[in-house]
């Protein structure tokens, strides 16, 4: 029996055993069913996205001016591969989809700022270590040390940016860190692949480069940056600055090490390259897949653990808690809602379910002791959104479970 069921006529009792949860009565009192939830601000200004997109477009224009045919071929092939890799990350991100603006910003950062920084700094490293050597034959130091150190730092800067301001509230789980790391790295790899494919002197050479980069190792850059993404996740769970810096440093060094081994192996012939690919890259890639899937399952367990307390405070009905805690049952509920009321009804139920997930993650941060006044304010804001989404979905929720909102 919920707290609302035990309330006296004309009164609403709130369970304080899980303080400071916000009851639906409190939220309704300040919200009212006619007022929509405030727009979520995620720290991805439109101006910043336009600036990054403009920079990426400028780079593409320069590549096209240098070799129109090669750039067109590279663009077509690299875009197909890029779409496939991004689809995998979007599949992984289904439980709590990240804001589209931030995902676009991550991709564009990789395809613009990270590329410009890497090209400029790697060029300086090449000048310092290659000296008068032929530019087509860069030294081992430049390829296996300089490039990995610089490129992983350039991509990782976006994840550091994600740890600041409003964006921090989007890094709730390891899956979130992996997704942002992946999108940033895919943006970087996309432009890099266009450049290398376009650099082929013949069509056959360009297609060979495309096969090596797009078919054999489409996840290379995302896998490298995943290491730093893991470091960011553990840094967010540390209470002191040394612990945070240590996690970030270890993640960065792991990314550089993997990148360096990959680049360096290509300089010692096909056998070394394939050996590193089969014995090193593929096993770690398999472990990364297992880690990602395990992380998403853990996300569902977090939400399931918070649902009883949401029920106790009246934010979620008991029958709704039966399907809000797993991907399978949530998907079935959305499909059933769509059957009853069409796409709008299904979208309303899905939005309600996603808002419950957001609130559960904020509560999880509080329960783990990583909360300040801003996080408590965010909890109230997320509860506000849960109630607003629940009001919008009420007609179909009633059909799904016979449930009616207790307060009007």
CATH number of the domain encompassing residue 319: 1.20.120
Band (pLDDT 50/70/90 cuts) for residue 372 is confident
Distance of alpha carbon 387 from alpha carbon 317, whole angstroms: 12
- CA neighbours within 13 Å on the CB side: how many for 338? 11
**How much is the pLDDT for 18?**
40
HEC-encoded secondary structure of 278-310: HHHHHHHHHHHHHHHHHHHHHHHHHHHHHHHHH
Residues 167 and 261 in one domain: yes
Residues 278 and 311 in one domain: no
| 179 in a structural domain | yes
Residues 201 and 256 in one domain: yes
Q: What is the mean pLDDT of the chain?
A: 87
Our count of domains for the chain comes to 2
| 163 in a structural domain | yes
Residues 307 and 180 in one domain: no
Please identify, among 299, 324, 353, the residue that sits at the C-terminal boundary of a domain.
299
Band (pLDDT 50/70/90 cuts) for residue 129 is confident
Q: Tell me the pTM.
A: 0.88
Residues 348 and 232 in one domain: no
Residues 135 and 171 in one domain: yes
What tokens appear for 295 in the block? 């992380």
Please identify, among 282, 299, 316, the residue that sits at the C-terminal boundary of a domain.
299
| 408 in a structural domain | no
2-40 pLDDT, tens digit per residue, is: 333 333 333 333 333 344 455 444 544 444 443 444 445
Residues 272 and 390 in one domain: no
Please identify, among 299, 333, 368, the residue that sits at the C-terminal boundary of a domain.
299
Residues 350 and 272 in one domain: no
241-275 pLDDT, tens digit per residue, is: 999 999 999 999 999 999 999 999 988 988 999 99
- Which domain, by its residues, includes 118? 46-299
Residues 258 and 334 in one domain: no
**Residues whose CB falls within 8 Å of the CB of residue 369, separated by 6 or more in sequence, listed in order:** 239
Residues 318 and 218 in one domain: no
């Amino acid at each position: 029996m919920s707290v609302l069921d035990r309330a006296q006529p004309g009164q609403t009792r709130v369970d304080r055993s899980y303080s400071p949860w916000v009851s639906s009565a409190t939220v309704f009192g300040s919200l009212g069913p006619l007022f929509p939830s405030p727009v979520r601000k995620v720290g991805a200004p439109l101006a910043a996205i336009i600036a990054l997109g403009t920079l990426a477009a400028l780079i593409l224009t320069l590549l096209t001016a240098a070799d129109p045919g090669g750039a067109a071929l590279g663009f077509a092939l690299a875009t197909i591969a890029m779409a496939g890799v991004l689809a995998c990350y979007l599949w992984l991100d289904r439980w709590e989809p990240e804001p589209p603006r931030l995902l676009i910003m991550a991709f564009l950062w990789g395809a613009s700022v990270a590329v410009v920084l890497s090209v400029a700094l790697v060029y300086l490293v090449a000048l310092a270590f290659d000296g008068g050597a032929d530019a087509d034959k860069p030294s081992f130091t430049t390829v296996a040390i300089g490039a990995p150190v610089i490129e992983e730092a350039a991509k990782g800067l976006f994840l550091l940016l994600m740890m600041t301001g409003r964006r921090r509230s989007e890094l709730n789980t390891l899956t979130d860190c992996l997704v942002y790391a992946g999108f940033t790295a895919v943006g970087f790899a996309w432009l890099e692949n266009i450049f290398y494919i376009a650099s082929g002197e013949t069509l056959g050479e360009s297609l060979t480069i495309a096969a090596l980069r797009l078919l054999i190792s489409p996840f290379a850059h995302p896998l490298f940056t995943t290491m730093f993404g893991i470091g960011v996740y553990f840094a967010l769970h540390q209470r002191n600055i040394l612990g945070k810096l240590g996690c970030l440093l270890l993640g960065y060094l792991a990314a550089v090490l993997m990148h360096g081994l990959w680049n360096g192996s290509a300089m010692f012939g096909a056998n070394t390259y394939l050996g590193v690919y089969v014995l090193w890259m593929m096993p770690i890639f398999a472990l990364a897949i297992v880690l990602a899937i395990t992380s998403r399952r853990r996300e569902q367990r977090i939400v399931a653990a918070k649902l009883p307390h949401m029920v106790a405070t009246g934010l979620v009905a008991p029958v709704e808690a039966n399907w809000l805690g797993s991907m399978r049952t949530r998907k079935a509920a959305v499909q059933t809602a769509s059957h009853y009321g069409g796409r709008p009804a299904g979208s309303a139920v899905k939005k309600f379910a996603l808002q419950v997930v957001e609130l559960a993650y904020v509560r999880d941060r509080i329960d783990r002791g990583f909360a300040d006044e801003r996080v408590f304010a965010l909890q109230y804001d997320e509860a506000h959104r849960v109630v607003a989404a629940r009001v919008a979905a009420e007609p179909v929720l009633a059909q799904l479970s016979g449930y009616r909102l207790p307060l009007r």
